[in-house]
Structure 1
Amino acid sequence: MIAMMLSSAIASLVACIATYRAPSSSVAAPASHYKFRLIHAMNVYSVPPGAAAATAGGRASPFHQWSAIESIRRAMRYAPPDMRVDFVCAVFESDRAALLGDDLPCRTVSLTRSTRTEYHFIEDAKELPFIQDIIDAATAQDEERGNVEYFLVLTNSDIGLTKYFYRALMPHLRMREAVSINRLAVSAEAIDVATADDGETLLSRVDSALEDADDHGGYDCFIIHSSVLPRIRIGDMFAGYPPWGNVMHRLLKLVADNYTNVKSNVNGTFHIGDDRTAWKNDDWSEDELASYLEFEELVHFSTIDDMANQRTMSPKSASLILEHATAAVVKPKCPWGRGNNVYRWVNDLNCAIGLQYNRYHDNRTIPRFIQPGFEGYCKGACNPWLI
């Protein structure tokens, strides 16, 4: 009798073991479990307590960044089951300690350069990140491991995602293409920023305001397949000021086999308020203003390389750069922006440097933005101006 009971118990135990399923875990499944893998990268920074951009609750993140992070946190929960999203926050070491208390839902990587470290001629320079540095830092881990099948999602730190953003990407991901998405401008009054101090309240108000939001034509969200990334480098163009988004848009049109610009829609991205004038109103020092006026009158200088090298000489103002210019080669212009403050001026210069043709391939001149070995992907005359 005892033997029969023991045998029955053992049989039941074996059956239980055979049918056991581990409880769900927050630990991500192996990458092979997913059909699509996304690396979502954005720069994350801190503001001091009491700053105008600060949020309630003592967070180090400014309001627009906090709202973007909360929206990404939610969108990840609603991502399709066969999609894995690796959210990566690219941070400066000067911000890392302050951000520790913000419960960031991301893997952090370090940025070592900024406009503050590189452009000494800008008085009291802002600490703005270089776009290529964000891309390189976010994808370094995968490149080192030989992971060659992923998409990079790149958004500005103030760009939020709608609830089903990742689901809406699926048709584009199947094409292994590059995508840009124009945002919706959500009314700040509809959100009532002063009282939207928790994620649930904030996102509920955003959802309600999307239908009445305004379209916006700017480029501040890109999804790029890993096979496309090595074809271009965006040089020293930095975030926070035009025209880096327009340049990226043009370059992807030039080298990606399939590139789609998705217009503003309720399953895309959003920004709270319309900031189209925010970057236009920076004050200039007298030296910076004089430098800009000289730059506008200048139509020739020795080479773009000379100007690029001079900018790290730590002059009191950018005028020293122009003093080294000589009439020889016509300056390439950046057709997608016109500097009206020192940051736009420098970003326009970075754009012009990247547009400079520095080699030939199949009887075509190739701009610096296009990487060696990938010239064959360039469409037509390989000229971003003409795309």
Structure 2
Amino acid sequence: MSSKNAFTHIINPVALPADHELMLAQPITFASMQKAQEVAAKNDIRIDLLTTQFPEDQAIIPPYFRQVPDLERSILDIRSFSRPRKLPLIGDIISRLYTYSDTPYLIYTNVDIGLLPNFYLRVTELIEQGHDALIINRRRIPSIYTSPDDLPAIYADRGRSHPGFDCFVFHRDLFPKFRLETICLGIPFIGVTLAHHLFAFAQSPLLIDEEHLTFHIGLEVMPPHDPEYYWHNRNCFRRIRDEHFWPHFDIRRFPYADRPLLERYWRWALNPSLFVAMNFRLEWRAYVADRFRS
């Protein structure tokens, strides 16, 4: 087996009331990951499935996941909110992924993101093409699926595209460059922050936005969010961007940068996780630098 053909994949399960939509989605996610792991094993690809969780969440996790140490803090340990929600910090999750793995490539997905059976095979192909980081956009499917027994129908339902970022594959050597501060899960700017780490520090990042590799049950694009938590995450991202990312950004590593002028700006404008004004500044910086070099 090639050393590249080994991945550790972590998710963060959560126990919620039985009628919560995540309590329907998570068993489907779990089963889809196990199926994709089995397909990978038949093709000599090693997949380690990990979870990290709060202690009260352990009971819902299937035995084919390896539970790494529980999370010890939430956003409520950082500051107070008018509507308290015990949301984990993405930095704590990614840190456990790095610490409790020995594979060259690491994967994080949101817990409501299911996998197609060939997911790890396709990821391996893309890594072998020379990419050290991947962002894989999900397909949205209707909320008619409620059980792992529905997986054959789910696999056949190509659904609709989605612009947001919720699946990340990256070489473990990139993690020491991460700065995730106190960004919390379940709120916008999780995917934005992880993606921009890869744009800043990966040598050959790739966005996969058309392939049918992952799915999410539910057709919404921008679900409602609590403004207090939203602004907490947004302010963290801006601080990380300005203090940590900016010197390392190269617009040529951003999605769609190789497209014709009008097309790339149109695609940036349509994607809520990309920023036209910022990307214009980066284009201008690259243009000026090229002019001075010439």
Q: Under a length normalisation based on structure 2, what TM-score does the superposition of the two structures give? A: 0.78
Q: Does 1:348 align with 2:220?
A: no
Contact 1:176 1:225 in 2 (8 A): no
Identity of aligned residues (%): 25
Could you give the per-residue CA deviations for residues 250-272 of structure 1, whole angstroms, max 9, x where no partner exists?
22112111100001322x11001
Equivalent position SS for 1:260: strand
Out of 235, 240, 252, the position equivalent to 2:198 is 252
Equivalent position SS for 1:103: coil
Equivalent position SS for 1:128: coil
Equivalent position SS for 1:203: helix
Shift of 1:103: 2.5
Q: Please list, as runs of the form range in 1=range in 2, the aligned pairs for 1:1-387 lying within 5 A after superposition.
A: 35-48=4-17, 51-53=18-20, 62-79=23-40, 81-96=43-58, 98-99=59-60, 102-109=61-68, 110-120=70-80, 122-142=81-101, 147=102, 150-174=104-128, 175-189=130-144, 191=145, 193=146, 196=147, 199=148, 201-210=149-158, 213-266=159-212, 268-280=213-225, 282=226, 341-357=227-243, 367=244, 379=250, 385-386=278-279
Shift of 1:379: 3.6
Contact 1:177 1:259 in 2 (8 A): yes
- Using CA pairs below 8 Å that are at least 6 residues apart, which structure has the higher relative contact order? 2
Shift of 1:92: 0.8
Contact 1:255 1:379 in 2 (8 A): no
Alpha-carbon RMSD across the aligned residues, in angstroms, is 2.6
Instruction: Give unmatched runs, 5+ long, in structure 1.
Output: 1-31, 55-60, 283-340, 358-366
Large movers: runs of 4+ above 4 Å? 32-35, 380-384
Distance 2:64 2:84 in 1: 29
Q: Cα 1:47–1:352, aligned 2, differ >3 Å: closer, same or farther?
A: same
Equivalent position SS for 1:153: strand
Distance 1:155 1:35 in 2: 19
Instruction: Give unmatched runs, 5+ long, in structure 2.
Output: 255-274, 283-294
Contact 2:141 2:160 in 1 (8 A): yes
Distance 1:186 1:381 in 2: 32
Could you give the per-residue CA deviations for residues 68-121 of structure 1, whole angstroms, max 9, x where no partner exists?
11110111011153311111111012322x33xx5342111221121232222x
Contact 1:34 1:82 in 2 (8 A): no
Equivalent position SS for 1:356: helix
Contact 1:158 1:271 in 2 (8 A): yes
Q: Cα 1:250–1:103, aligned 2, differ >3 Å: closer, same or farther?
A: closer
Distance 2:237 2:4 in 1: 36
Q: Cα 1:113–1:381, aligned 2, differ >3 Å: closer, same or farther?
A: farther
Contact 1:216 1:264 in 2 (8 A): no
Contact 2:37 2:47 in 1 (8 A): yes
